[in-house]
Structure 1
Amino acid sequence: MVTMVPVLLSLPLLLGPAVPQETQVGPYSLAFLYTGVSRPSKGLPRFQATAFLNDKAFFHYDSEGRKAEPLGPWSQVEGMEDWEKESQLQKAREEIFLVTLKDIMDYHKDSKGSHTFQGMFGCEIQNNRSTGAFWRYAYDGQDFIEFNKEIPAWVPLDPAALNTKKKWEAEKVYVQRAKAYLEEECPEMLQRYLNYSRTHLDQRDPPSVSVTSHVAPGRNTTLKCLAYDFYPQRIGLHWTRAGEVQESEAGGEILPNGSGTYQSWVVVGVPPQDRAPYSCLVEHSGLAQPLTVSWNGRQ
């Protein structure tokens, strides 16, 4: 039976050899997210694929339009990709991906309802060197199987994935190709994309910060530090008491604003008798130095 891995790895790399790069900092990442749905609801494609440079989507393909199309600023970039060839590649992956979804449903003997199969793979580089890679799948939101390039082997994370592992490892060359893709081809592809993308990916928007407090009679004062409109998403956000970092009672998640930037917050409680100074400490690549915002609620 046809499986996803042979098609994914046996098609020729479309981008050609990597082009020498100027000194990089990074990190930079390239990731592909695939989603297949057995019974999609109205308006939802049965299959869609999105490629990301760092956290920015730069091309999309789905089973409705069946064309790989650049997104955002990459729609104005010439020569980055042969989009017709990319469309043909994604069509092949669509077919195999949906066959794999059906195989899993057949294993469970469950053809009713709607089921989802997702795959994500990619790599990261920093200072021109590969610093990480991943390749994993999920079925109905649960971990299914992942590739361990150190063994190398596909590692089942679900009983049904044992059957998938046997099919994907029937030919030993496919395991070696998966390892080579993560360690060599993906970083080379990312290096080439950076020729056209570094300006967009090196964007640095420093966070705006606000500190608020809420006092309930007889209870702790709740302090909230909100950082917003920052990019990239990595940020250090902490409350300090007399200079000592405090464990947050809530928050800590980094969420998109919907405008290409992010927001995050942390919360801490201050007992009524506590008179120590509290400050919010913010560390971000868009700041020349860490930012400290003091809470002046007692004044």
Structure 2
Amino acid sequence: MGYVDGQQLRHYDSNTRRAVPVVPWMEKVAQEDPQYWERHTEVLRGWEATFRESVETAMQRYNQSGGLHTWQLMYGCELSEDGRKTGFYQYGYDGRDFLTFDKDTLTWTAADAAAQLTKAKWEAQPVIAQYWKDYLEKDCPECLQKYLRYGAEMLQRKEPPIVKVTRKDSQHSLETLLCRAHGFYPKEINVTWRRDGKVGQEDTFHGVVSPNPDGTYYTELSIEIDPKERSRYRCHVEHDGLQDPLDVAVKGSAPVWLIAVGVIVGVLGVLSVAGVLFYVRGRKGA
């Protein structure tokens, strides 16, 4: 699967054995490059075979004779407004870290003794590390910029969050306030509970932002309070789709709904592309 800013754009699996677009705007790529999908299909069929070999190799190293096992690869790049480029490339086995590439030192970090064998094998062939460094610093950002051009209407849109605040009784005469923000895009958002306009470190939002089926996101944040002090608390929400931050309070037992009016300004702050759907020469198994 290939993603841009959390939005899936293409797909391949062993049943169809085809690389296909997931979103309509990715069909534009064939207009500029008619052989794009055929080329990527062939490359990924080769990757499928390589992955099978890597699983078998890993099973041998971990003395596993059967069972269900997975070999995973994740790589991508990020491009910031100020032009900074970063990239990552890492392997996993059965959901655990296996091998991670450091493009600055052209070395691989092994997670355990089994991965050390692959590290030694690949570092003995410097061309592998140099290829991935060049890809992450040049080819990947160029792909990212191209995809942003194709999907500009969707990827660079701003959809403000809808914020709902509710409450429920808790133990020991306390109550829980729940702030839920949903329907927003892009993913980056800041949600905090504030007491008299001030936020404590323990109340700052660091949780998970989850995707909705329509490509937007949602998140929620709760806090336990003394009901007598309810009027002193506000859910504070900051997002690029908002003209101004929101401060939402509970009124009595009824939730307060605020649907903010968004404004589209500027460009996306951090853009990223990740997946395993790129043309790779000289692919190597474990």
Identify unmatched segments of 5+ residues in structure 2.
255-286
More contact order relative to length (CA 8 Å, sep ≥ 6): 2
AA at the equivalent of 2:23? G
How far did residue 129 of structure 1 move? 2.2
What TM-score, normalized to structure 1? 0.77
Contact 1:249/1:269, CA 8 A, preserved across alignment: no
Structure 1: how far apart are the matches of 2:253 and 2:18?
60
Structure 1: how far apart are the matches of 2:118 and 2:171?
59
- What's the CA shift for 1:156? 0.4
Q: Select 2:245's aligned residue among 281, 284, 290.
A: 290
**Aligned pair 1:242/2:193, yes or no?**
no
Q: How many residues of Structure 1 are paired with residues of Structure 2 in the alignment?
A: 250
1:198 has 2:152 as partner: yes
> What are structure 1's unaligned runs of at least 5 residues?
1-49
State, as a whole percentage, how many aligned pairs show the same letter.
38
Deviations 1:73-128 (A, max 9, x none): 23542425511111111112222222112111111121210101111000011237
Match of 1:252 in 2: 207
Name which of 94, 106, 120 aligns with 1:140.
94
| 2:3 corresponds to | 52
Whole-angstrom CA distance in 2 between matches of 1:97 and 1:225? 43
Name the CA shift for 1:213/1:251 in 2 (closer, same or farther; >3 Å): farther
Determine if the alignment matches structure 1 residue 212 to structure 2 residue 163.
no
Q: Paired residue for 1:62, among 13, 20, 33?
A: 13
Q: Which structure shows the bigger proportion of residues in strand conformation?
A: 1
Check 1:238–1:60 CA distance in 2 against 1; reply closer, same or farther (3 A cut). same
Q: SS in structure 2 opposite 1:191?
A: helix
Aligned position for 2:118: 164
Q: Deviations over 1:225-281 (max 9, x none)?
A: 010111111111111000111434998321122221111011111124546611010
Cα displacement string for residues 145-203 of structure 1 (whole angstroms, at most 9, x for unaligned residues): 10011212111012211011122222112111121111112112222222312222112
8 A Cα contact 1:251 1:267, kept in partner: no
Aligned to 1:107: 61
Taking the aligned partners of 2:171 and 2:125, their CA distance within structure 1 comes to 69
The SS at the match of 2:91 is strand
TM-score, with structure 2 as normaliser: 0.81
Native 8 Å contact 2:91 2:99 kept in 1: yes
1:268 to 2:218 alignment: no
RMSD: 2.2
Note if 1:149 corresponds to 2:103. yes
3-state DSSP class of the match of 1:252? coil
Shift of the alpha carbon at 1:295? 2.8
Local SS of the residue matching 2:151: helix
